[in-house]
Structure 1
Amino acid sequence: MRRWIALCAMLLAGAASAQEATLPAPILTLNQERLYISSEFGQRVREDLEANSADLAAENRRIEAALVAEESQLTTDRATMDPTEFRLLAEDFDERVTGIRGAQIEKREALQRIADQERGRFFELAYPVLFQLVEETGALAILNQSAVILSSRQIDVTDLAIERVNAAIGASPLPDEPLSTPLPRPSPQDTVQETPPQGDD
């Protein structure tokens, strides 16, 4: 965003110093939000976020089912278990549930952070394309439509900007980096203790 403001300031200063100019260069407008969400890059980010969110939701359901089953087994075993042993197992279970819940929340927040970072990367990549568009048209500046009270459709370059940005950077996908999956530790009943083989005396 600072680059965007700097670009406008630079162009305004250059126009003011051009004494021979009798008319100001045209002002162009751009729907910055539509540029992003309608671009191949923005659509790819949205699809990635939706797919990863769906995967995370499925993972949460699997983990929840495993924890519910473990809790049910722990409750069943309580009647035949030493109270001290049960208390230790129950505390361990609660600890793990809290840790897993925190890890899954962090995953969800990480997905949103990636989407936000990708939005910033998009405008970094789009900046040279927009600058070239300013130079080609001889425009004084490109203003975001959200900051303009009234303008003519003739000076809206959003569609042209989308076309140029798509041609220049496309979807620019990130390399796949699968998130780690914290799974609940097995209950004591699911743990198999292997006895080392004994040699013949």
Structure 2
Amino acid sequence: MFLRRVSLAVLFALGATALCAQDAPQGSGVASETVESREVSATKGTKLVFPVLVFDRSRVLSQSAAGQALEAEIDEARAALLAENEQIYADLETEEQEIADAKPLMSEEAFRLRAQEFDTKVTEARSAQDQKARDIQTLYDDGIGEIEQKMNDALATIARDLGAVVVFERGQVYLMNGAIDISRLVIEKLDEDLAEDTDTAPADQDTAPSED
């Protein structure tokens, strides 16, 4: 609650709207300016300054190309693991039934050994599948970490360009003017960076020295 109050106080202290580096003409609506309109204002010789900016982390992750690609990769991996788990379960269930059917034909010692081997097999299979699930979670966490690093770089660039002194995550703000939300700009910056990485990757491979 204290953080929300501080966020609100900062927003109102700085006007919670875009501020103009030059005096606005009489009758102009500075409050109606948005972050996205800065290019238009720049062509008119007016540099817009946004001391406070806000972004929506969940929106950036869900709508950016990098975030969507990661989500698709994780969904595919989880679906494959689920299908594999179902197949393993079906195979173990069949084997368990075979052991039960063979019990009358086996000595007590032979059955006990077979049952122990089966229990060990079940335990090892469960452990292996659990590790695969953890690997998928690690893949997701690492992917999110990489995206957030690029997101932080994008935020720093945008904040510098707009003269911001503070950037809040939307969940930290109690009340705000939508004009200071830069989520779309961050998404566009991430998509541009991803496109550049994709374009340069084949070129790097093509220019690699060939082995004689």
Q: TM-score with structure 2 length normalisation?
A: 0.66
Deviation at 1:75, TM superposition (A): 1.2
SS at 2:92 equivalent: helix
SS at 1:150 equivalent: coil
**Cα distance in 2, alignment partners of residues 28 and 109 from structure 1:** 36
**Cα distance in 2, alignment partners of residues 99 and 149 from structure 1:** 50
| Residue 163 (structure 2) pairs with residue 142 (structure 1) | no
Partner of 1:191: none
Which of 35, 55, 73 aligns to 2:60? It is 35
**Cα distance in 2, alignment partners of residues 92 and 80 from structure 1:** 18
| CA offsets 1:97-117 (integer angstroms, 9 cap, x no match) | 011112212212221222122
SS at 2:193 equivalent: helix
Partner of 1:151: 176
**Cα distance in 2, alignment partners of residues 112 and 148 from structure 1:** 30
Partner of 2:188: 163
| Residue 153 (structure 2) pairs with residue 128 (structure 1) | yes
1:172–1:112: structure 2 CA closer, same or farther, 3 Å change rule?
Answer: farther
**Cα distance in 2, alignment partners of residues 171 and 103 from structure 1:** 38
Moved more, 109-118 or 26-35: 109-118
Deviation at 1:146, TM superposition (A): 0.9
Supply the AA of the counterpart residue of 1:73: E
Q: CA RMSD in A?
A: 2.1
Which of 68, 90, 93 aligns to 1:65? It is 90
Partner of 1:6: none
Deviation at 1:50, TM superposition (A): 1.1
**Cα distance in 2, alignment partners of residues 172 and 84 from structure 1:** 63
Supply the AA of the counterpart residue of 1:31: D
**Cα distance in 2, alignment partners of residues 77 and 171 from structure 1:** 63
Partner of 1:109: 134
Check the 8 A contact 2:54/2:182 in 1, yes or no. yes
Check the 8 A contact 1:125/1:169 in 2, yes or no. no
1:165–1:73: structure 2 CA closer, same or farther, 3 Å change rule?
Answer: same
| CA offsets 1:176-195 (integer angstroms, 9 cap, x no match) | xxxxxxxxxxxxxxxxxxxx
**Cα distance in 2, alignment partners of residues 171 and 59 from structure 1:** 36
| CA offsets 1:54-83 (integer angstroms, 9 cap, x no match) | 111111111111111111111111111121
Deviation at 1:152, TM superposition (A): 0.5
**Cα distance in 2, alignment partners of residues 113 and 171 from structure 1:** 26
Higher RCO (C-alpha under 8 Å, 6+ residues apart): 1
| CA offsets 1:101-153 (integer angstroms, 9 cap, x no match) | 12212212221222122111111122222211111111112211111111101
Supply the AA of the counterpart residue of 1:42: G
Q: TM-score with structure 1 length normalisation?
A: 0.69
Check the 8 A contact 1:129/1:168 in 2, yes or no. no
